[in-house]
Structure 1
Amino acid sequence: MELTVAVIGAPVGLKGYVRLDVRTDSLRERFAPGNQLNTNPAKHGPLTVQGLRKQGGSIICAFKEITDRTAAQALTGVELLAPALSELAEDEFYPYELEGLLVKDLAGNELGTVNRLVFGSGHDYLEVTTPEGEDVLVPFVKALVPEVDLEKEEVVMDPPGGLFPGHGTALEAR
């Protein structure tokens, strides 16, 4: 199984360097010089990591196959893929496993569908699209998301009052 470890952003300079929108906690391991990464779409890869550096708040990467700005610009938006490193613990999930799961409250009422996992600095968030089409960000913490059942393809939430109108308990009651 391959996971998205980064998405290629804008080119940097004239020699084919690119910014990365990183989606992995194992940056140095995934982007060690000489590592090959598959791409989505596949026609752009595989790409061989030549070097990696930080520049300001950005991660900049050089690939052996990309030698000029024009080639780098053609890769904007391309996903970089790598095999999963290890099995996850029972309460850990890959983002792709959560996308599309049905979201219910503790009483079994449907709240929406998980659209995506949003990475945060303190904790991550589940972006839930309600049946009315609104997107709601829910902190992905045990107190609010006590259960994720991949076999049933559902997430059980205990949202605070006001997060999903008509569902959840008020903060004062917690």
Structure 2
Amino acid sequence: MQLVVARVGRAHGIKGEVTVEVRTDEPELRLGPGAVLLTDPASAGPLTIESGRVHSGRLLLRFEGVRDRTAAEALRNTVLIAEVDPTELPEEEDEYYDHQLIDLDVVLTDGTEIGVITEISHLPSQDLFIVERPDGTELMIPFVGEIVTEIDLEEQRAVIDPPPGLIDDRAEIVSSRDDGASSEGEGEESA
């Protein structure tokens, strides 16, 4: 299994170091000295990490064979990919790799099917499940404990308890407002 772990940024200094945009929760494991990474584009690698350090809040890496600024700058925007054993699990009990979550069925706490996770979007503030509904539309579900109440890898499902409006479409919202109406047609909006 392949995981995207970083993207190479600008060259730093004149001795071949590059800044990297980290895309893994385990940079010390995936981006440590000696790690061999595949690349996209493939013509840039594979690359072996010689050393790494943090400078002004940014991770700097030096790759074997990359000795000057010109060679480092040639790697700019290269995506770094780690080969990971598919049976490997994160160290923390409530953490998951993206590949474990992709293709999980998403259901409400009452069992109502919502869709399938097709992608995980890693934002600075939180992660999002990108969920494809049966009709082909997509939803974004924040991956937070208040909403995602259970991840069951054996049953291949994610159970959610979303707040009102997160997954409801307009017709469902109008319908729920009409539940208290005393006669048919009340509460309907005209176009």
Give the TM-score, by structure 1 length: 0.69
> Structure 1, unaligned stretches of length 5 or more?
168-174
- Give the SS at the match of 1:60: strand
Per-residue deviation at 1:58? 2.5
Per-residue deviation at 1:53? 2.8
Query: What is the count of residue pairs matched by the alignment?
Result: 166
Q: Does the Cα contact within 8 Å between 1:66 and 1:72 map onto a contact in 2?
A: no
State yes or no: 1:149 paired with 2:152.
yes
State yes or no: 1:39 paired with 2:38.
yes
User: Which residue number in structure 2 is paired with residue 23 of structure 1?
Assistant: 23
Q: Does the Cα contact within 8 Å between 2:8 and 2:75 map onto a contact in 1?
A: no
Change (3 A) 1:13 1:110: farther
Equivalent of 2:107, from 100, 104, 109?
A: 104
Whole-Å separation in 2 of the counterparts to 1:155 and 1:77: 33
- Give the SS at the match of 2:131: strand
- Give the SS at the match of 1:146: strand
Q: Does the Cα contact within 8 Å between 1:10 and 1:73 map onto a contact in 2?
A: no
Per-residue deviation at 1:158? 0.8
Whole-Å separation in 2 of the counterparts to 1:143 and 1:13: 45
User: Which residue number in structure 1 is paired with residue 137 of structure 2?
Assistant: 133
User: Which residue number in structure 1 is paired with residue 60 of structure 2?
Assistant: 60
Of 53-62 and 119-128, deviating more is 119-128
Give the TM-score, by structure 2 length: 0.64
User: Which residue number in structure 1 is paired with residue 187 of structure 2?
Assistant: none
User: Which residue number in structure 2 is paired with residue 170 of structure 1?
Assistant: none
Whole-Å separation in 2 of the counterparts to 1:27 and 1:70: 23
User: Which residue number in structure 1 is paired with residue 179 of structure 2?
Assistant: none
Whole-Å separation in 2 of the counterparts to 1:133 and 1:66: 45
Q: Does the Cα contact within 8 Å between 1:104 and 1:156 map onto a contact in 2?
A: yes
Whole-Å separation in 2 of the counterparts to 1:72 and 1:121: 26
Per-residue CA distance 1:69-109 (angstroms, 9 max, x = gap): 35643452322315469644554311121123232222333
Whole-Å separation in 2 of the counterparts to 1:107 and 1:53: 48
Letter in 2 for 1:32: G
Q: Does the Cα contact within 8 Å between 2:89 and 2:97 map onto a contact in 1?
A: no
Q: Does the Cα contact within 8 Å between 1:7 and 1:20 map onto a contact in 2?
A: yes
Per-residue deviation at 1:6? 2.2
> Structure 2, unaligned stretches of length 5 or more?
173-191
User: Which residue number in structure 1 is paired with residue 4 of structure 2?
Assistant: 4
Q: Does the Cα contact within 8 Å between 1:5 and 1:82 map onto a contact in 2?
A: no
Per-residue deviation at 1:18? 2.4
Per-residue CA distance 1:11-67 (angstroms, 9 max, x = gap): 44554432212133443444333x132214455333222222334343221111223
Q: What pairs up with 1:86-105 in 2 under 5 angstroms?
A: 87-88=89-90, 91-105=94-108
Letter in 1 for 2:81: L
